[in-house]
Structure 1
């Protein structure tokens, strides 16, 4: 039975703000509909779950779900030619993901090892490594890479549905309901009918295509040849005569399934000594023949010279992209850093995992990163050896996440190791998966653990070689939540976009660099420094950062607790005595927040007191960071806990945060409890809420030094104007607005 609720992942994993169906409702709007309106949202999700269960278990009237299967037609320029893309409704993607999460094991069991687009672990990499190993085998004379004409849109639907009814009954009903009738495609005010193929954007489309081609794979299987498919990309290798027989079978049987091999776009890669024979055997076909090599699924397949040339061209292209990114980083360093870490890096890793000689050519790319990109992002000179190692660490370990491409040499061996069980099944042409997924999963965990230890060793090595001052900054950057501002996407609509001065100055604060053009003196008369500015009471900056945190938590607590009050006054004392001399005895004593029903029962009252301290202040530098948090907590407890317990009959929780983004253990527990309560009340996944809270806290605590700050330092204005930019205040206001709209899922 398929269950779909607001806390399920299909709703959250539905990307694409512009890929809307005919209704125009994008993923963001659907996420809010399914999460932002309490009971109404829950009713909507239950209704979607009911639809998913029904179309997955019984045949329904096609007219009743015509709106669900309708698509918006988009023409894709293929240069040359046009590919019609049918963009389905977001709600169909939500339902499809939910269905696929239930039947995935059945789909994998039915597709086996030769069609690797159904969700097998590292299926694409396994196909590449299998063909590379096959080409290196002395008994292999040639490998044929087949390209089909508009394969996904030409798939024979009726035959596919008939075959799937016997190969994978678990998914047949939902596919029959959504594909048995022509789907309406809306374009330019007209409606066209899609009668063949799968629908772009439908999560079930790839599973359907994989299952539909399995019978074709079995029909074309030829003795003496080894084949593997990834969606419509078919490949087969072996003796030239066996490969020719496989091609003939594919040409004959493929048309019945809607698979039309395009000989003019297909390539036969042969060993140099077999080139003449290959030309003779394939003379009556239009298949291209080469003894060098070709690109296959994003990797190089062929001779060593071809593979090296492919890598060289790719590195040169990426170097040009780095140069362009460096020019962008001059004015938009945060956007450039995000594009590198969320975009280009993934391409490099995949290439390193599928091409053995990647390290040989990666030095040129690393040179461009060191000399061009990093200086453009940081606004400083090129980094030294130690600083470059620091920047290569993940942000959560105090780095910038700018990976050194030359360090990716182990990725190829890791990929070969993880895909080995599946590659063996492919080379032996065993159709069933067997225990390959379990073996791969175990190997994946081992590799991940080993890589984690390597990164930890590198981080320890970097830390040991840092100066005392920078070592402390490194420890502060390692705190949980201290790097959220660096890894978040720079979405301007949510206030996460930082202008160039703010971003670079935040890096200065992170690594203990002195921000450029800083004034020598403070309006209070003292010598100006970052540490002095963070602690100086003149102008009230420490008060403002304290009040922002207080107001934020007060607003959050008001959503999940009763009787929430800001700055509640404690009862006057009437003869009570306390065992601790440090306990507060002031008649007008007040704390920051009070709320009922947080830790205990519904009527139990809890008081909270906020402190945001500067761990780099002179009075704290002689203590470990963890010790600073403990000292702050104990000081607050000694002052208020006994009085609150005896006089107010309430509990007490100190909220201790550092201005670098970290928090004490008790504050971490408080944040987790708050996230759990918000998650339960809003029916929002806990992981999304806790990540949002940590990001929100880091934005409240970070100090952003801007050009306006530098001007104010010279002019001697009030320190509030100097250290709190309007951008930071806007972040607070916008987060509060988002929270009040109950739109957590947007973040």
Structure 2
């Protein structure tokens, strides 16, 4: 077996991928020397409900390495597959295939389009022929595929061993690339003059004159078997123009291909007459409306889970349908009506939103919204999709095999569209803000801060502390938008009138202190992973006649700060002190100031009190950690969290983006839970209980001891 070096190229891959390649070779070599196969795996039967999907590659290391390899050789794979097989990672390849077939069907010269369904295509692929063809079409990926697919793969399940001899293995990140490359020679063999073909994995489609389409079908039936591609005529459909129906039945009379003059579903979109496309959209909208009703019933008890299912699941389906079906907006009103009247009230625990509130909720979470998109606003998605895929669609319709400059054109168009959409959303956000009341404008501004919305966009994973029960989630929304939380008491045990503002600052019950200590302890724990000599509440040295230029500098002998650590900003012996403050930006004393000004004032106050003393007496640096209870942070705190995330990323060898997102999310949930505790926690006077001094009670109470 040859050492696989051709698929790792240092000139266009980071050091991590090169190391991953070496690790992969080590694993392959060790397996090859001890067994007849280099790709033994546990077989995991995944319930498709109904049916079973056998996942043959479930090992984390192999999946990671497979993705690393694919990221390096992607350009080679794209160059080899070209424009006719669109499952290799082409930009919006699925959408391009749909738009190409839709445009072809609308062409007056087109008489029919044939949609082919193959029998068990991925598992029936001729593995040896595929590897042989890939060795010449894409040498960059051939070695790794040879090492993993040359020999039958033992798959272990239920104490038995199954040998995977043909096809690609489910769960392998390289499977789609291998299948795309393996079918390229087949695509070239079946090309027929007068027909236009396009493939997305095993979904093949060809259109043109009926006779040309029939010739294409015959070639596919003959040559497909050699490659392990077996067209299933009974599941394949020929979509014809109404005036060509009789001719199509005559030409395809000796096949079992189904024929229709209406239309069929193609890659998740509708292909056919306008009536069929409208019927397809109508059925899809009705199905989604039923799903929204079901989701609304779930939201009664699990609003966070329902919101997550909507934003991370259903919304993606709507967007794809809007991008591939021209008349989506015509039917989207019914879906929006269900969202507005049922789902949003179930999630928020309030009545149906008004027009302004609905626009607010449709904004992305980072801009102060809930990310509940209005389906009727997706009308521009179809035009955007057609525009972005136009270069690739032109190549497909002209049956040009090479990609040419299509990827560069698409990338440029994608950036333009993204920029335009960003401006549209920003305009909508500004319009919403201008129409809010003064109080709600401030809440909107706070919700727009970096890190203030992480709790709303993360998946509600209970194991990581990202899950909120129904009351906490709705209280969080109340705090976010300035609503009065339901069932709040009218008065506080301290004697004041209870309100959200009062609850956030009232010392009775010690909740503001608990909030402060939670943040202090969290940062102290994280610093202990990357710094030396981390201490909580370190006491400063007593003064011995030192003088300070600032009258506000701390001069107390028992002065202490929240955290100290060595090696954060400078060398490993340099000490840095941190002091935490969490304030309520909606307090009466702050409402007359801009939010940014509030952060500056807090930072300056901390610096005036401690910085000079720490510099002169302790020879240490000082960083104030200033946070708002809504999740925002000052500029210095932002720099601190970025530095902390960078250090954690380096030590744990984890991507910086993942660490900073996790850190902001954890911080957001800590502040959120502390804020909810402030408005919901009991502030009643404590019941004075007898001392729990067991020895004293035993002695004075003359309690007899028993063996």
TM-score with structure 1 setting the length: 0.85
Check conservation: 1:254, 1:261, Cα contact below 8 A. Answer: yes
- In 1: Cα distance, 2:320 partner to 2:690 partner: 38
- Report the Cα offset of residue 601 of structure 1: 2.1
- In 1: Cα distance, 2:36 partner to 2:232 partner: 35
Answer with 81-90 or 294-303: which moved more.
81-90
Please say if 1:735 is aligned against 2:662. no
Answer with 58-67 or 501-510: which moved more.
58-67
- In 2: Cα distance, 1:522 partner to 1:248 partner: 83
- In 2: Cα distance, 1:649 partner to 1:156 partner: 72
Check conservation: 1:491, 1:497, Cα contact below 8 A. Answer: yes
SS of the residue 1:538 aligns to: coil
- Report the Cα offset of residue 99 of structure 1: 1.1
- Report the Cα offset of residue 570 of structure 1: 1.7
1:31–1:239 Cα change, 3 Å:
closer
- In 2: Cα distance, 1:104 partner to 1:737 partner: 71
- In 1: Cα distance, 2:68 partner to 2:153 partner: 21
- Report the Cα offset of residue 63 of structure 1: 3.8
Check conservation: 1:55, 1:173, Cα contact below 8 A. Answer: no
- Report the Cα offset of residue 90 of structure 1: 2.5
SS of the residue 1:119 aligns to: coil
Check conservation: 1:501, 1:705, Cα contact below 8 A. Answer: no
SS of the residue 2:342 aligns to: helix
- In 2: Cα distance, 1:621 partner to 1:733 partner: 42
- Report the Cα offset of residue 352 of structure 1: 0.4
SS of the residue 1:734 aligns to: coil
Answer with 43-52 or 543-552: which moved more.
43-52
1:344–1:78 Cα change, 3 Å:
closer
1:620 corresponding residue in structure 2: 590
| 1:311-334 Cα deviation digits (max 9, x unpaired) | 000000000000000000000000
Answer with 49-58 or 181-190: which moved more.
49-58
- Report the Cα offset of residue 735 of structure 1: 33
Check conservation: 2:97, 2:393, Cα contact below 8 A. Answer: yes
| 1:634-676 Cα deviation digits (max 9, x unpaired) | 1111111112222222211111000011000000001111111
1:56 corresponding residue in structure 2: 25
| 1:529-569 Cα deviation digits (max 9, x unpaired) | 01100001112111111111111111211222222221122
Check conservation: 2:8, 2:69, Cα contact below 8 A. Answer: no
1:281–1:627 Cα change, 3 Å:
same
SS of the residue 1:705 aligns to: helix
1:419–1:737 Cα change, 3 Å:
farther
| 1:451-484 Cα deviation digits (max 9, x unpaired) | 1111111111111100011111111111111111
- Report the Cα offset of residue 77 of structure 1: 7.5
- Report the Cα offset of residue 216 of structure 1: 0.4
- Report the Cα offset of residue 404 of structure 1: 0.4
1:31–1:636 Cα change, 3 Å:
farther
1:130–1:75 Cα change, 3 Å:
same
1:504–1:62 Cα change, 3 Å:
closer
2:601 corresponding residue in structure 1: 631
- Report the Cα offset of residue 88 of structure 1: 4.1
Q: How does 1:389-428 map to 2 (within 5 A)?
A: 389-428=359-398
Please say if 1:130 is aligned against 2:100. yes
Check conservation: 2:113, 2:206, Cα contact below 8 A. Answer: yes
- Report the Cα offset of residue 585 of structure 1: 1.8
1:269–1:623 Cα change, 3 Å:
same
1:50–1:604 Cα change, 3 Å:
closer
Please say if 1:529 is aligned against 2:506. no
- Report the Cα offset of residue 139 of structure 1: 0.5
Check conservation: 2:196, 2:207, Cα contact below 8 A. Answer: yes
- Report the Cα offset of residue 424 of structure 1: 0.4
- Report the Cα offset of residue 85 of structure 1: 4.9
- In 1: Cα distance, 2:438 partner to 2:15 partner: 57
- In 2: Cα distance, 1:546 partner to 1:149 partner: 62
Check conservation: 1:66, 1:183, Cα contact below 8 A. Answer: no
- In 1: Cα distance, 2:429 partner to 2:8 partner: 39
- Report the Cα offset of residue 68 of structure 1: 7.5
- In 2: Cα distance, 1:458 partner to 1:168 partner: 48
| 1:263-301 Cα deviation digits (max 9, x unpaired) | 000000000111111111111110000000000000000
1:377–1:339 Cα change, 3 Å:
same
- Report the Cα offset of residue 684 of structure 1: 1.7
Check conservation: 1:505, 1:704, Cα contact below 8 A. Answer: no
Check conservation: 2:127, 2:167, Cα contact below 8 A. Answer: yes
| 1:167-190 Cα deviation digits (max 9, x unpaired) | 111111111111111111223322
Structure number with bigger Rg: 2
- In 1: Cα distance, 2:20 partner to 2:691 partner: 35
- Report the Cα offset of residue 201 of structure 1: 0.6
TM-score with structure 2 setting the length: 0.90
Which residue among 581, 598, 611 is the counterpart of 1:641?
611
- Report the Cα offset of residue 427 of structure 1: 0.3
- In 2: Cα distance, 1:240 partner to 1:537 partner: 82
- In 2: Cα distance, 1:447 partner to 1:323 partner: 33
SS of the residue 1:198 aligns to: coil
Answer with 68-77 or 113-122: which moved more.
68-77
- Report the Cα offset of residue 52 of structure 1: 3.4
Answer with 578-587 or 464-473: which moved more.
578-587
SS of the residue 2:28 aligns to: coil
- In 1: Cα distance, 2:473 partner to 2:648 partner: 31
- In 2: Cα distance, 1:47 partner to 1:171 partner: 18
Check conservation: 2:530, 2:651, Cα contact below 8 A. Answer: yes
- In 2: Cα distance, 1:733 partner to 1:82 partner: 61
- Report the Cα offset of residue 70 of structure 1: 4.6
Check conservation: 2:362, 2:374, Cα contact below 8 A. Answer: yes
Answer with 570-579 or 381-390: which moved more.
570-579
1:82–1:689 Cα change, 3 Å:
closer
1:287–1:82 Cα change, 3 Å:
farther
- In 2: Cα distance, 1:429 partner to 1:355 partner: 24
1:519–1:594 Cα change, 3 Å:
same
- Structure 1 unpaired stretches of 5+: 1-27, 33-40, 695-702, 707-731, 739-747
- Structure 2 unpaired stretches of 5+: 665-671, 676-687, 695-707
SS of the residue 1:580 aligns to: coil
- Report the Cα offset of residue 602 of structure 1: 2.1
- Report the Cα offset of residue 71 of structure 1: 5.6
Check conservation: 1:69, 1:92, Cα contact below 8 A. Answer: no
Check conservation: 2:8, 2:18, Cα contact below 8 A. Answer: no
- Report the Cα offset of residue 86 of structure 1: 2.9
SS of the residue 1:300 aligns to: strand
| 1:209-251 Cα deviation digits (max 9, x unpaired) | 1011000000000000000000000000000010000000000
- In 2: Cα distance, 1:529 partner to 1:449 partner: 42
- Report the Cα offset of residue 573 of structure 1: 2.1
Check conservation: 1:68, 1:92, Cα contact below 8 A. Answer: no
Which residue among 297, 312, 325 is the counterpart of 1:342?
312
| 1:14-58 Cα deviation digits (max 9, x unpaired) | xxxxxxxxxxxxxx99999xxxxxxxx999999996683487799
1:212–1:437 Cα change, 3 Å:
same
- In 1: Cα distance, 2:379 partner to 2:12 partner: 51
- Report the Cα offset of residue 129 of structure 1: 0.4
- Report the Cα offset of residue 405 of structure 1: 0.4
1:495–1:83 Cα change, 3 Å:
closer
- Report the Cα offset of residue 576 of structure 1: 2.2
1:474–1:259 Cα change, 3 Å:
same
Check conservation: 1:83, 1:150, Cα contact below 8 A. Answer: no
1:325 corresponding residue in structure 2: 295
1:513–1:734 Cα change, 3 Å:
farther
Aligned length: 670
1:53–1:736 Cα change, 3 Å:
farther
1:499–1:392 Cα change, 3 Å:
same
- In 2: Cα distance, 1:562 partner to 1:535 partner: 34
1:374–1:653 Cα change, 3 Å:
same
